Amino acid sequence: MNRAIKPFLRAVFALALFASFVSIEAQQPEAPFTRTEEMIPMRDGVKLHTFIYTPTKTTEKLPILFLRTPYGTGDMTPAQLAGALSELTADGYIIVNQDIRGRFKSEGQFMMLRQPRDPKDKNAIDESTDAYDTIEYLLKNTSNNGRVGMAGTSYGAWLTVMAGLDPHPALKASVPAASPADMWIGDDFHHNGAFRLSYGLEYTYMMESSKEITNTANLVNKDDVYQWYLDLGPLANADAKYFKKALPTWNDFVNHPDYDAFWKRQGFAPWLNRVTVPTLNVAGWWDQEDFYGPITIYQLLERHDTEHKNFLVVGPWNHGGWSRSDGRKLGPVDFGSETSVYYRKEVMAKFLAHYLKDKPDPNLPEALTFRTGDNQWVRNDAWPPKRNVAERSLYFQEKGGLSFEAPASKKAPAFDSYVSDPANPVPYRKRPIPLKTGWTTWQINDQRFAAERPDVLSWQTEILTDDVIVSGKITANLFASTSGTDSDWIVKLIDVYPENYSADPTMSGYELMIAGDVLRGRYRNSLEKPEPIPANSVQQYKIGFPANDHVFKKGHRIMVQVQSSWFPLIDRNPQKFVPNIFLANESDFQQATQRIYRSGKQASNITLPVRAAAR
């Protein structure tokens, strides 16, 4: 939803859609645009603030590229716009940038992720009707070729998908990048029932404390946010100390802790029942905010894609990385080529030009994925891949081993254990955790800091003698017990670099997280109906990861880590079952002894979609 965008919020064009804002005017000081500023009326009389940038040096009628944002359109000059969208400027588009309802200079009331309207109510409005009404106005009030494309990142991508639910007939192309699809199951606010604390609290405060952007440093003012959140105590203190029930989205968190009708209606699953517009879904392997979303949207639309208009592209990016940099590196990890530049020029620009300007078909595959490890783009005729892929399980072994061989049965169940203490939760990255830096790249941080803790268990393979290509959906199967009556289970799949890595000595021994996610134990049997975990009873927990395409190279190792806290990325589980963790008391939080079983029918493992190597 775009906590990553905060450094750009005071800059122009806060969507950060396609390019970096660095030295924009130096890149292209003489932009061929004229700008007009409009208040465009909606069907209910509310007017939305909109900038329209029209190319001045053209004789052809051009398509419209329509961008909507809750982060403020900014007072972007024509020269700045041309620099920010350099890959598209040469092709020629009328570019429209709009503040959504209730934000910045637009009239009306803002509602976070406004739910789709009841189609039976002819007077109802939602983001789809606002997009429709704006397109209708633009077609009548600009000189255009009758075609419109929409694009956006994060919240802007969600707005783009919303516009496609009941699209204007002129909407001919859609590029949603990192759109959330379900805010309870796998996107910004929750993952499998666990609340994403630092993001959810800070984003809600940032967006709903005023009509514009509120600086989160006004609230979270510590150099180490881990300590600030620990000092905050139970989640109920956020309202008691700061919010006073004034933030609607925080109230929703408190009032809807489970996967009820509120969250289901807000998710896209009930609504994406047809492909209305050619759609290019964009995702990044290390997107810490919305990776579940674009994969899910693609899969929901794919069920109905009879005309081959639904596509997926996934690159080695963090949230928005496809637009902000050249994509050669993410943190210390080098991918060997400018992956973001390739996407913007060869994929996104050509996709839009084909559907909006009748340029040649870019011949996109069903899914274009960048296979990390091998560092190459791969064309897939289906996603997840169906050919040459077989599921293989890596089993947890004694003495921290990990193997494709299932462990033998034993008379007494074998297990490893640790004590999880809510008063000393595992940090999601190495402390101190500053408020304003490091959020965009924490997923590629070296995980050796976590392995040093006694409340994190690690298992790893021997040194690989062949490449292991993992392409598709990974599933962790934990057999575990807790002395408490509720628990979080976090599983991380890690690529361990050789101890002496000659290709880049700075990466020697590096532990690179390839996949990681959390399951709140109370939801192990049902997302809708939480239930206590029987204390000291072995239960099975399944944790699915949306997608991966990675090669664990010969000479590397594969590691799995398991822990029960990930703070303050995820809120602390009391480890005692309470009806609503948002209302838990300090006395509800307790230590728990966790056991991970690894023998017989209780052999914990992680199932990988292993792709056969090309011969």
Given a cut of 60, whether residue 14 has pLDDT beyond it is no
pLDDT bracket for residue 5 (50, 70, 90): very low
- Cα(254)–Cα(246) distance, rounded to whole angstroms? 13
- Cα(145)–Cα(353) distance, rounded to whole angstroms? 13
For 196-251, write each residue's pLDDT tens digit: 999 999 999 999 999 999 999 999 978 999 999 999 999 999 999 999 999 999 99
pLDDT bracket for residue 31 (50, 70, 90): low
Contact 208, 112 (CB under 8 A): yes
Residue type, 7: P
On whether residue 158 sits in a domain, the answer given is: yes
SS3 content of the chain, % helix, strand, coil (to 5): 25, 30, 45
Given a cut of 80, whether residue 30 has pLDDT beyond it is no
Alpha-carbon 404 to chain mean position:
30
Q: Structurally, how many domains does the chain consist of?
A: 2
- Cα(558)–Cα(555) distance, rounded to whole angstroms? 10
- Cα(139)–Cα(143) distance, rounded to whole angstroms? 7
Mean pLDDT value across residues 486-493: 98
Looking at residue 3, its pLDDT comes to: 45
Same domain, 606 and 516: yes
On whether residue 236 sits in a domain, the answer given is: no
pTM above 0.75, yes or no: yes
Of 548 and 5, more confident: 548
For 245-297, write each residue's pLDDT tens digit: 999 999 999 999 999 999 999 999 999 999 999 999 999 999 999 999 999 99
What are the distances in angstroms from CA 378 to CA 321, 375, 392, 551, 609?
19, 10, 22, 12, 16
Residue 430: phi and psi, rounded to 5, are -60, 135
Given a cut of 60, whether residue 465 has pLDDT beyond it is yes
Looking at residue 82, its pLDDT comes to: 76
Same domain, 523 and 589: yes
- Cα(61)–Cα(418) distance, rounded to whole angstroms? 67
Alpha-carbon 545 to chain mean position:
12
**What are the start-end ranges of the E strands in 397-525?**
402-403, 415-420, 457-460, 468-482, 488-496, 511-520
- Quick one: tokens of 555? 């000479």
Same domain, 428 and 522: yes
Percent with pLDDT over 90 in the chain: 87
Range of the domain at 7: 3-181+267-329+341-361
Residue-averaged pLDDT of the chain: 93
In the numeric block, the tokens 């007009």 are attached to 36
Same domain, 410 and 463: yes
Residue 52: phi and psi, rounded to 5, are -120, 120
- Cα(206)–Cα(213) distance, rounded to whole angstroms? 6
Same domain, 423 and 354: no
Same domain, 407 and 316: no
Same domain, 171 and 317: yes
Looking at residue 22, its pLDDT comes to: 33
Tell me the sheet residues that pair with 477.
542, 605
Mean pLDDT value across residues 296-304: 97
Of 332 and 27, more confident: 332
Looking at residue 77, its pLDDT comes to: 81
Residue 27: phi and psi, rounded to 5, are -70, -40
pLDDT bracket for residue 120 (50, 70, 90): confident
* 432 cis-preceded (ω within 30 degrees of 0): yes
On whether residue 582 sits in a domain, the answer given is: yes
To 10 degrees, what angle do helices 225-232 and 197-208 make?
90
On whether residue 561 sits in a domain, the answer given is: yes
Same domain, 398 and 347: no
Looking at residue 1, its pLDDT comes to: 66
Tell me the sheet residues that pair with 215.
none
What are the distances in angstroms from CA 104 to CA 99, 236, 354?
7, 30, 34
Same domain, 486 and 568: yes
Same domain, 440 and 488: yes
For 388-420, write each residue's pLDDT tens digit: 999 999 999 999 999 999 998 878 899 999 999
Same domain, 439 and 347: no
What are the distances in angstroms from CA 543 to CA 255, 302, 364, 524?
26, 23, 31, 9
For 169-200, write each residue's pLDDT tens digit: 999 999 999 999 999 999 999 999 999 999 99
pLDDT bracket for residue 549 (50, 70, 90): very high
Contact 611, 385 (CB under 8 A): yes
Residue 269: phi and psi, rounded to 5, are -55, -40
- Mark out the alpha helices in 291-338 (DSSP H runs): 292-302, 321-324
Looking at residue 90, its pLDDT comes to: 74
| DSSP state at residue 467 | -
On whether residue 101 sits in a domain, the answer given is: yes
Residue type, 412: A
User: Tell me, what CATH number does 56's domain have?
Assistant: 3.40.50.1820
On whether residue 203 sits in a domain, the answer given is: no
User: Tell me, what CATH number does 436's domain have?
Assistant: 2.60.120.260
Given a cut of 60, whether residue 87 has pLDDT beyond it is yes
Contact 65, 88 (CB under 8 A): yes
Q: Write out the H or E segment, with its range, that includes residue 86.
A: helix 86-89
- Quick one: tokens of 4? 């990553």
Mean pLDDT value across residues 582-605: 97
Which is it for the CA torsion 73, 79, 85, 88, positive or negative?
A: positive
On whether residue 229 sits in a domain, the answer given is: no
What are the distances in angstroms from CA 45 to CA 41, 68, 123, 166, 554?
6, 19, 11, 20, 63
On whether residue 336 sits in a domain, the answer given is: no
3-class DSSP state for residue 478?
strand
Same domain, 317 and 393: no
Given a cut of 80, whether residue 6 has pLDDT beyond it is no
Looking at residue 411, its pLDDT comes to: 80
